[in-house]
Structure 1
């Protein structure tokens, strides 16, 4: 009889545990302390009062932290951890090097982690479920800036600033861009740390920033430093190096006569600059060879998945060419979007021209 009773108790216990499960995605939410509270509880039985314990361990460092929540109620179906319960939870962080890093930064460094979620009945202290998740956290790839290039000289006083996206991709990740003037005898890093920003833009979702309309123009002959920070909520995920550039180049007046105002030399426009194309793209280039067809393509920076079709054919004559691309009636172009045109030069090589399209009808 005793053996039968023991088997019945074991069967009932397993049945209760099977009625509750933890849903947690460690690859997404297992990188920060706050992410632990994004676990959800799936309950197949009736309403009940429970407590939750979470223990995080790392393969080399051992136990990193423990979390103990107060009592809360779960109902049939999927249950998230109430915000009030998460804020009031007790978080005990260990004393090893990894734990100290987490205490300072609120996110987990590189390592091999286990996340042990334990649900306990509030009335009887019986364990309802004990579920473990594992995840290897690898260091993020460097957050590399693209343009303006480090120590470059540009003409544009309201440049387009671009950088590589932060990897691995994290849902909800945003960027902050800081741009400051470098004063005499300052390094780029000193300027970024001590000078008032010319641009301090937060909440950037894409890996580019059109120069903010409420920021003053950059000044010719001055040097600037910039840096991009990737963050989620209040946690810094990644930072780029600090790059610098100078607004200091001469317009190419010899290649384009003054009477042809609006046509910029393709060599000048390739120096990391862009302009606003009001229905047309105008540029000039020299063809030292025979008559031929210009080979070029245009792609959208704002939405890389969209395709640009039905571009006009351009024929080059020998010598100076002033080219006007009428794209005002091409439905591939959207008002306010950024584009890049890649042109193959007659003598070899290529040049990139960036522009923002403005619909004249808007």
Structure 2
């Protein structure tokens, strides 16, 4: 008799384990664990036949304890991946606790900063105790770091009709995160935010995986003398994760592009070159810099803006003497530089300051 009971118990245990293995709950707390509505973004993966089920969700926070209990009505799941039906979402019972964290959620409709645990239990519709699948997810909610734009810089004047747009990656990193880049023309008397909200976009690029965007070839090029506004949004699926400020810039080439002619041996101050914004390097970069300290090597680096993955190598060493220095940087024989490409040179001055010079490389004729 005892042997029969043991066999029966082991059979029940094996059946429950098999059901759990055949059905799993999929949820991404980093993306959807910040709101009550986000809890319903969970999906149910089912390897067996059609089942009638219901879902219980318990949300807890490490310091506050239990925050919310969500109970759905009965619904069916079939083989494959199943989303929670919309009518089930509308009729779900949501009970919030009586504590400061739950009260914050009542007022603001999102979860405040904290260390959260999300317990999902998928129950059989025909039984109040049979758990088909149970899974626990955890996530620490912290304020996202600002999504900072890099270039074109705010209120800058540029000379690229198809500029490269760059920004800092969204932090914390989320698998599958994508970016949307919007650029619009600013009309007269509009500020950048108004332009972005009301004007038709020149660039509206979704699905950007990296934190840079080469100007789309199907977008019309920018026009001399006009101002533009742009913004980057980080998102996953249909959920916005982070959004940058709105920056503006102007396309103004006439006063900002300076070509060094072959017979021009003048050396301009590094400060003047930086203010000039863009510089056409005809095989050489010539500038003057003051070193008030002892003789030392000039620290500098050059990066390719047109193709960020391209490495600029074999740059010549430059030694600064004390006092006024005229620097003649010969890059005409360096194969790292390509005609028509844009570059940025970062110079680390002896006094600790840093200067950045953007230039377009032109082969020496």
TM-score band, normalised by shorter chain? 0.5 to 0.7
Residue 193 of structure 1 deviates from its aligned partner by: 0.9
Counterpart position of 1:77 = none
Query: Which residues of 2 match residues 177-216 of structure 1 at below 5 A?
Result: 177-216=181-220
Could you say if the C-alpha distance between residues 120 and 300 of structure 1 is closer, same or farther in structure 2, counting changes exceeding 3 Å? farther
Residue 336 of structure 1 deviates from its aligned partner by: 11
Per-residue CA deviations over 1:247-283 (Å, capped at 9, x if unaligned) read 4573375x9457559x998556646967899xx8643
- Cα distance in 1 for partners of 2:276, 2:29 equals 37
Per-residue CA deviations over 1:197-228 (Å, capped at 9, x if unaligned) read 23222221111223334434434443322111
Counterpart position of 1:58 = 59
SS in 2 for 1:192: helix
Counterpart position of 1:78 = none
- Cα distance in 2 for partners of 1:283, 1:68 equals 72
Aligned length: 333
Residue 285 of structure 1 deviates from its aligned partner by: 1.0
- Cα distance in 1 for partners of 2:306, 2:162 equals 17
- Cα distance in 1 for partners of 2:340, 2:25 equals 41
Moved more, 156-165 or 339-348: 339-348
Does 2:49 align with 1:86? Answer: no
Match of 2:78 among 72, 75, 80: 72
SS in 1 for 2:13: helix
Could you say if the C-alpha distance between residues 252 and 300 of structure 1 is closer, same or farther in structure 2, counting changes exceeding 3 Å? closer
Q: Check whether the contact 1:300–1:307 (CA below 8 A) recurs between aligned residues.
A: yes
> Normalized against structure 1, the TM-score is what?
0.68
Could you say if the C-alpha distance between residues 128 and 177 of structure 1 is closer, same or farther in structure 2, counting changes exceeding 3 Å? same
Residue 54 of structure 1 deviates from its aligned partner by: 3.3
Query: Which residues of 2 match residues 68-217 of structure 1 at below 5 A?
Result: 69-73=75-79, 81-82=80-81, 85-86=82-83, 91-93=88-90, 112-118=116-122, 120=124, 127=130, 129-136=132-139, 138=141, 139-217=143-221
Residue 328 of structure 1 deviates from its aligned partner by: 4.9
Residue 229 of structure 1 deviates from its aligned partner by: 1.0
Structure 2 unaligned segments of length 5 or more: list them: 61-65, 97-103
- Cα distance in 1 for partners of 2:339, 2:263 equals 29
SS in 2 for 1:92: helix
- Cα distance in 2 for partners of 1:62, 1:248 equals 56
- Cα distance in 2 for partners of 1:267, 1:296 equals 15
Q: Check whether the contact 2:256–2:278 (CA below 8 A) recurs between aligned residues.
A: no
Residue 311 of structure 1 deviates from its aligned partner by: 3.1
Structure 1 unaligned segments of length 5 or more: list them: 74-80
- Cα distance in 2 for partners of 1:195, 1:320 equals 48
Q: Check whether the contact 1:174–1:230 (CA below 8 A) recurs between aligned residues.
A: yes
Counterpart position of 2:235 = 231
Could you say if the C-alpha distance between residues 211 and 305 of structure 1 is closer, same or farther in structure 2, counting changes exceeding 3 Å? closer
Residue 12 of structure 1 deviates from its aligned partner by: 3.0
Per-residue CA deviations over 1:277-329 (Å, capped at 9, x if unaligned) read 9xx86432114469975432245779989875433445679654443324753
Per-residue CA deviations over 1:117-138 (Å, capped at 9, x if unaligned) read 326499x998353413132352
Could you say if the C-alpha distance between residues 27 and 199 of structure 1 is closer, same or farther in structure 2, counting changes exceeding 3 Å? same
SS in 2 for 1:91: helix
- Cα distance in 1 for partners of 2:296, 2:361 equals 27
Counterpart position of 1:251 = 256
> Normalized against structure 2, the TM-score is what?
0.67
Could you say if the C-alpha distance between residues 245 and 297 of structure 1 is closer, same or farther in structure 2, counting changes exceeding 3 Å? same
- Cα distance in 1 for partners of 2:289, 2:70 equals 66
Could you say if the C-alpha distance between residues 283 and 334 of structure 1 is closer, same or farther in structure 2, counting changes exceeding 3 Å? closer
